[in-house]
Structure 1
Amino acid sequence: WVLWAITRAYPDKLNLVLEEEKSHPSQPEQSHGIFGNRYVTLILLLVVLITVTHFFLDNIFYGLAQLRFKEKEELASFIGLFTALVGLVTLLCQVGLSSHLLTRFGVRAGILVLPVVIGAVLLLLAMTNFTVGPVILAFGLAATAKLLDYSLRDSVNRSSLQTLYQPFSAARRAHTIATMDGVVEPLAAGLAGLTLLMLDNYFGLAPTQLALPALVVVIGWLWVASDVGKRYPAMLVAALRTRRLGQADLSLSEPSSLAAVTQAIHDPNPAVALYALNLLQTADRAAMTQLGPALFAHPASEVRLAGIAQIEASATNTPQMHVLLAGLVEGDADLDVRGAALRALAVLYPEDAEELAPKYLHSGAWSMRRGAFDRDALEWP
């Protein structure tokens, strides 16, 4: 309640405008409150459902653990070993799984993997209510769900949630994350506690029976996660068009983020295309090679010039890039672009320099004569 009161009483203190955002005064971020659009509301619901599921799994696990281990010493010993195992698996997921999964499959897969695996285990656990079997079977399923929840929630799921905030400016992102962590999660925990208390006191549900309402929550979690993951690329493209993101605010290791920036390069507005190109400076050589056709086909000559400079600076000298640059030299309508492409060819492909220099040395266009020389090699002033 105190955190909620602070955010309501001092919104001007929390909504700090960073220097980076002041660089685009003509492109203000549209905001109608922190939950003023469906995308943010979906993230709120996602956080609530993740938190509620976590406490349901806790209740199921510890309830079955008490049935499995009758002695307090046995229970304490098992909890200690299990906690150590959770820490080890979480570390392995953080180091080896999280970044690999996001890089290969994207943010949508990242936020879906946890509810999918937990939902599958809860379904099996719920089925034990209709069969006769030893307690150890249900307990094993509950322990598996608990292990998956802790290890994947603090690795893959957390990284995916952080990626979902990328369409926000730095100030709004900080405000939203603080609200989610400081207000929404505690309220969701309280909601989960009240729900579990009611199910226990008024309905008398056993630990295995709690798997049924938990499964309903996970189904809602799956629906919300799928929807917000589907909306993420469009939100990122909209943010790029308003040019409110800085290079430090955006990670391109995730495929849908890279696809959104690539889409922005095709924007007919040169300012948007140049802005997206600037964000791609950290992309690898393979990405730059793939973006070559889009850069060099842009209708604005300044975008094509910036693309040539980017290719030259990144030393992207693949055979495909050679063909693209040679095509610009021979066929681009802008002489400055042709000259820049000629220079890039001489720099990136030194074996072509001796052939290119005599061919364009006596061109009627100064930009072509200048581009015929590699000033670093020939000490051209």
Structure 2
Amino acid sequence: MTSRYKFTAYLTGAAAARTGDELSSPAVLLLGVGASGAVAGSTLLAGLTVSAAVGGPLLGAVLDRSRAPGRILAAGLIGYAAGLATITALFGAVPFALVVGVAVVTGLLAPAIGGGWTAQVPALVPPAKLGRASTLDAMTFTVAALVGPGLAGMLAATAGAPVAMIVAGVLALIAVPFAWRLPGNVERPRSRFREAATVLVRNPALRQSTATSTLSCVGIGMAFVCYPLIGEQRLGSAGYGTLLLIGLSVASLLANAVLSRRSYSPDRAVQLSTVAIGIGLAGAAVAPNAVLLVAAVALTGIGEGPQLASLFAVRHREAPPEMRAQVFTTAASIKIAGIALGNAVGGPLAACSPAAGLAAAAGMQVVAAVAHPLWTVRKQRVR
């Protein structure tokens, strides 16, 4: 059954929330880098992201059992905005470990921005339109990735990282009414948490796509903390480094626009897009000038956009209806944890050599792509 709630309203709310999320990550990074250096910045960012591994499964279980999932998402958005404001207010005024602790608590709510929204899509569109809706949903991540980092870099360069943090929180709050009005469900299946927690492992297609994308995200997390320093080193400002992500996002958006018009195997696309990401990261590591650096980052975007859209397609195809929210939020949490690991490892590497950090990030894409066939031995049925 579909709802009278407009899918355009869903896309508006999701885009606002995800833009706030995409803005908050570089803002947190720049807040730490500007005051204490790359290690402090990556530590603070890792604190914000790593706890999502715990928050995702819990939020998914609540959403699957709730008759008003939109209100749960709205509460999560409010909490996330409040956490960002608290980090901003406390940074520099209290011991750094306490600020990291606040970031960890705030990160528990991060799945409300990603997977929690996506799990609601099947209730909003007819089954025949689910594939296109999934691609449009993935494109809200791309739009957010286009606007968020660029806005973070601009605000950090002109008004300071704390202002960027506040704007990120405001964007999350803008999404609250759109989340609140998401349709409820007269009946919600009562799946057991243990069953839902293991479906990602037991289902070959879900296991394969999740494992590949998580390994890829470790490398992406490493690259993320390298971009500000690459910008400082090659473009003259750490804030300009985050602007590199604009080129990445434009390429990602264009790639998904092309993908939405074609039939393709999402399982295979996950692997091929990972290869493209790796080539782009390797190119950025050795690019001798700004033009080639932007081109390499754009190639990374050509991989990142289709990778996300393909992941959504696999999850919608394979997730049991009674566990859909848990599948999406848990898988998103695992990916976020991979990014957090990459952030933590990438900080010290970037401090020594941003180019070496990008090369290591490219190496993780190689590992993910080569291991992709190993996660399942069964050929997936076309459904």
User: Normalised by the size of structure 2, how large is the TM-score?
Assistant: 0.44
More helix by share: 2
Compute the TM-score of the two structures, normalised by the length of structure 1: 0.44
Larger Rg: 1
Higher relative contact order (CA 8 A, sep 6+): 2
